[in-house]
Structure 1
């Protein structure tokens, strides 16, 4: 475990890029072999805007990465944060709790707030207006949302007290988990269900992408399903009846154009409060 943390303390940018590209490639191939839905689309054409937003997310995180490093160094030097205030525990448990809590602040809480605050929901809409959810949808985030998510992660690093090794490990796991649970993969229902007791499985997360409330406002987690289950935001829905997208932004052609998606957060829109 110590060797693993040491590796992520100094992980080269090339290796982080390989995790991103490798995950996309693996899940792209798997979903092509065993798809949940047989989408009537040109896969590369659909992927283009999602890859564009993946690249903008990478750039923003790269530019702001020094803030994560400074914060992680500060909490370590000052013994600050939740996991540093605990009694002595084994390293594996220290790492697990660090990742679990970072998943809460950086993923679950950020996601929940984006759905509950109207102005943030408008920004997050870009992610939800994908009509053909697959592994490339994972990082389909407007640049403004990338900054918002980074801010929540930064706050999480400080409150959790995570050293940089745990932060980098968390970000890598978060990336691969998101690629996995967005992938258009048809797992056996029983296996998916078993996975969902601990991790966010594909079927669990796809409920969140259903086009109508209350399902859109559920299953906010990314790595661990525990936060949704504990905090009452876990929901189930028949995966065969899922319809992706947002009911008030139904134009699939517009929702596949980068220029339209960049403007989307600034369009007038009021989120429905009840399901028709």
Structure 2
């Protein structure tokens, strides 16, 4: 079973990724939250290019990634759940919850620690938000994130199937909550009680520092509510929400090589208020 999961991991993940990308892209065309002001092809080329670079980086540095760690730990009884022989019906949901909390905490840290923010601002520099923004991360951030995830999987002794389910779910939910789709308000409010919706996560991509430092969750919305980082609605209403970072409002973020170079350039700091906020606070 382990060897099958490891050998088929990329196939399973790519199948879910490709299918959901096509589905959400079609939904964005049929019922967009906001009409794009930029040619989709230009942004997609850069966002998907960053995703490909990150995937290649992980496969070169850590070919087996988190799944390989889970299989290795299970075979050698390493990690909390393996040490106490926790049955799968408990270790599976507990692993999913623990890993989701880890991603929430990591995301918050990446916003508040300057070194990590240099990498993470590549994600926030996207001047618009759609399904491809979900995979717009610098390769170095992808490597750091994978290292943290691998350490957590080893400490937990998370079962391989839980790691695979979490990876697929995280990718799918990130694509969903970054998508440029309009949900009926009643359905959106119901979903938001449990999961992170597009309306909720768009606030996190606001140019305002007090808004993009809120709503850190990717899967469950409970973490933001529990740790008081939940923002219900953007200042000025959703129709006036401005996406991106004020420091990078030109066409540079739509360029692949500029985006790859961004962590090494000067610029915006964590929690830096936009010009709009500074005028309001003056």
TM-score w.r.t. structure 1 length?
0.89
1:202-261 Cα offsets, whole Å, 9 max, x none, are: 11111100111111111111111121111111112232221101012221x111111111
Q: What is the match of residue 143 of structure 1?
A: 139
The 10-residue stretch of structure 1 (37-46 or 26-35) with the greater mean CA deviation from structure 2 = 37-46
Counterparts of residues 1-276 of structure 1 (less than 5 Å): 8=5, 11-63=8-60, 64-84=62-82, 91-105=88-102, 107-237=103-233, 238-251=237-250, 253-271=251-269, 272-274=271-273, 275-276=277-278
1:169-195 Cα offsets, whole Å, 9 max, x none, are: 110111111110000010012211211
1:95-114 Cα offsets, whole Å, 9 max, x none, are: 12211111222x21221111
Aligned CA distance change for structure 1 residues 7 and 213 (closer, same or farther; 3 Å): same
Q: CA deviation at 1:35?
A: 0.5
Post-superposition, which runs of at least 4 consecutive aligned residues in structure 1 deviate over 6 A? none
Aligned CA distance change for structure 1 residues 82 and 234 (closer, same or farther; 3 Å): farther
CA RMSD of aligned residues (A): 2.3
Answer whether contact 2:131 2:178 (CA < 8 A) is retained.
yes
Aligned CA distance change for structure 1 residues 181 and 146 (closer, same or farther; 3 Å): same
Query: Using the alignment, how far apart are the partners of 2:37 and 2:272 within structure 1?
Result: 31
Q: CA deviation at 1:85?
A: 6.5
Answer whether contact 1:9 1:168 (CA < 8 A) is retained.
no
Aligned CA distance change for structure 1 residues 86 and 27 (closer, same or farther; 3 Å): farther
**What stretches of structure 2 of length at least 5 have no aligned partner?**
none
**What stretches of structure 1 of length at least 5 have no aligned partner?**
none
Answer whether contact 2:74 2:157 (CA < 8 A) is retained.
yes
What secondary structure is seen at the aligned counterpart in 2 of 1:248? helix
Q: CA deviation at 1:39?
A: 1.4
TM-score w.r.t. structure 2 length?
0.87
Count of residue pairs the alignment pairs up: 270
Query: Using the alignment, how far apart are the partners of 1:173 and 1:270 within structure 2?
Result: 31
Answer whether contact 2:32 2:182 (CA < 8 A) is retained.
yes
1:127-179 Cα offsets, whole Å, 9 max, x none, are: 00111100011110111111111112112212322122111111011111111
Q: CA deviation at 1:66?
A: 1.9
